[in-house]
Amino acid sequence: MVAVIDYNAGNLKSVCNLLKKLQTDAVVVKDADSIRRADKVILPGVGAFGDAMTNLTQSGLIPVIGEVIAANKPFLGICVGLQLLFEGSEEDPDIAGLGILSGQIRKIPDGSQLKIPHMGWNNLKIKTGASLFQGIDNGAYVYFVHSYYPDVTDKDIVAATTEYGITLDVSIERGNLFGCQFHPEKSGDIGANIVQNFLDL
Amino acid sequence: MLTKRIIPCLDINNGRVVKGVNFVDLKDAGDPVQIAAAYDKAGADELVFLDITASSDNRDTVTDMVEKVAENVFIPFTVGGGIRTVEDFRRLLRAGADKISINSSAVNNPELIGEAARVFGSQCVVVAIDAKKRADDSGWNVFINGGRIDTGIDVISWVKKTVALGAGEILLTSMDADGTKAGYDVPLTRAVVKNCTVPVIASGGAGTIKHFYDVLTNAKADAALAASLFHYKELEIVDLKEQLTQMGLYMRIS
């Protein structure tokens, strides 16, 4: 059973629709026990870091999230769900993140020709052997919509990057902890394959 | 490298895709889910659904359609047509739409832009603008109500205002070019792109591959939208993208 955490931070439906299409037993959960019982956990999220962190705090689920990640349960953070795993964000400097991953969420620099948010299809430079990207060609396109990105301290856990003015870290893999800054649930067949790889772990 | 986007637009009447010219002589063209899935397979980067149903009683039909599309198609899609309130946004986003487009209601009630952006995020708010050249050629005016009413508002000042209020993207239709198949309105699009810090989707006038190339390079539009060109299969998206790639543009090719 895959638990998709509902903490009032959006895009639950899209993720669940894809999981349903992939014929996975997925349940939207709001309580700690369901998360503990799940085989795999997904933390989605759109919107501002601060709002999402506040909602997550209010949900009371922060301890169980720490618990399952420490126990190496397969865990996937998507978009803001990935960002919350880090120490903090330039978007809301007064609000601390979960601190499970070392690094800060930074604003994407707006060069002379670049529009913010980074919105649309961009291609991934994939680290060889990255589990989420098995069977996916280097250079595959996925869909992004974000103004902030994770600046990962330990580059060894960076599973994929993309270019948008600068190199952006956009996916991580540390043991069974995974994250995607892009939206696999909106990235067509490639996105479906990425999620399938997570489900197949 | 971020690619330019090719976006088919589907007109919806009573929950069915329709084909027609300027909302006249509408012919049923099929089931939205099937057509959306076909466009996805054909390489569309995003989809826009425009509800042109005359009656405003069909909220449930549109919501149903959005739910079904979201269950079957996994690329971003925008829904527009008759959206007036934050509740409309909520209902459609919850049903699975990624972005909501507002046109006349943005002009009639600009606060809606900011309200929706605050609650759902700017990335969900698309402001669609129909623009027509002024008689003295000094610029373009914004039209509403399906292009029937000239608001007298200058398009550049309106674009700046909507972005300041929180619009995340602009969907710009040239009324002069629309339906002509003689090319997108490059001067209009260029002027808007120059004055706009959010992505701009060009719409109206597409007829050939070169038209797409022109608006994406000379006008620097971020995306190009077309309806009948794709519906009537006058141009296949796969061919379009391959050609544009050969001409030097970055496109998503599967």
Is the minimum CB–CB distance between B95 and chain A shorter than 8 Å? Answer: yes
- Residue of A18, A116, A121 lying closest to B5 (CB–CB): A121
Please state, for a pLDDT cut of 90, what percent of chain B lies above it: 83
Are residues A187 and B75, on separate chains, in Cβ contact within 8 Å? yes
> Which range is least confidently modeled, A103-117, B21-35, B179-193?
B21-35
Is the minimum CB–CB distance between B90 and chain A shorter than 8 Å? Answer: no
- Greater confidence (B224 vs B253) lies with B224
Pairing of strands A40-43, A2-5: parallel
The overall average pLDDT reported for chain B is 93
CATH top class, domain A2-199: alpha beta
* Whether the predicted pLDDT of B230 surpasses 90: yes
* Whether the predicted pLDDT of A39 surpasses 90: yes
Contact list in B for residue A121 (CB cut-off 8 A) is: 2-3, 5, 45, 252
pLDDT confidence band for B60 (50 / 70 / 90): confident
pLDDT, average across residues B150-171: 97
* Whether the predicted pLDDT of B28 surpasses 80: no
* Whether the predicted pLDDT of B185 surpasses 70: yes
pLDDT confidence band for A181 (50 / 70 / 90): very high
| Main-chain phi, psi angles of A124, to 5 degrees | -100, 140
Report if pTM > 0.80. Answer: yes
Contacts 24+ apart (CB under 8 A), A167-174: A168/A108, A168/A118, A169/A103, A170/A124, A170/A144, A171/A124, A171/A130, A171/A132, A171/A133, A172/A82, A172/A101, A173/A127, A173/A130, A173/A131, A173/A132, A174/A101
Single-letter amino acid, residue A100 = I
Are residues A189 and B254, on separate chains, in Cβ contact within 8 Å? yes
* Whether the predicted pLDDT of B23 surpasses 60: no
User: How confident is the model at residue B14, as a pLDDT?
Assistant: 87
Contact list in A for residue B2 (CB cut-off 8 A) is: 118, 120-122, 144, 164
Are residues B45 and A121, on separate chains, in Cβ contact within 8 Å? yes
User: How confident is the model at residue B199, as a pLDDT?
Assistant: 95
Interface probe, candidates A23, A116, A121, A143, chain B, greatest B C-beta count within 10 A: A121
User: How confident is the model at residue B25, as a pLDDT?
Assistant: 67
Q: Which of B40, B130, B214, B222 is catalytic?
A: B130
Q: For residue B33, give both structure tokens.
A: 């889910």
Please state, for a pLDDT cut of 90, what percent of chain A lies above it: 90
Q: Which of A16, A79, A118, A146 is catalytic?
A: A79
pLDDT confidence band for A193 (50 / 70 / 90): very high
Single-letter amino acid, residue B121 = G
CATH label, B5-246, candidates 3.40.50.2300, 3.20.20.70, 3.30.210.10, 3.30.450.40:
3.20.20.70
pLDDT, average across residues B114-120: 92
pLDDT, average across residues A50-74: 96
Is the minimum CB–CB distance between B5 and chain A shorter than 8 Å? Answer: yes
Q: Tell me the shortest Cα–Cα distance from A47 to chain B, in angstroms.
A: 6
pLDDT, average across residues A32-43: 97
Catalytic, A118? Answer no
* Whether the predicted pLDDT of B57 surpasses 80: no
Are residues A185 and B74, on separate chains, in Cβ contact within 8 Å? yes
pLDDT, average across residues B1-8: 96
User: How confident is the model at residue A108, as a pLDDT?
Assistant: 93
* Whether the predicted pLDDT of B220 surpasses 60: yes
First to last CA, chain A: 13
The residue ranges of every structural domain in chain A are 2-199
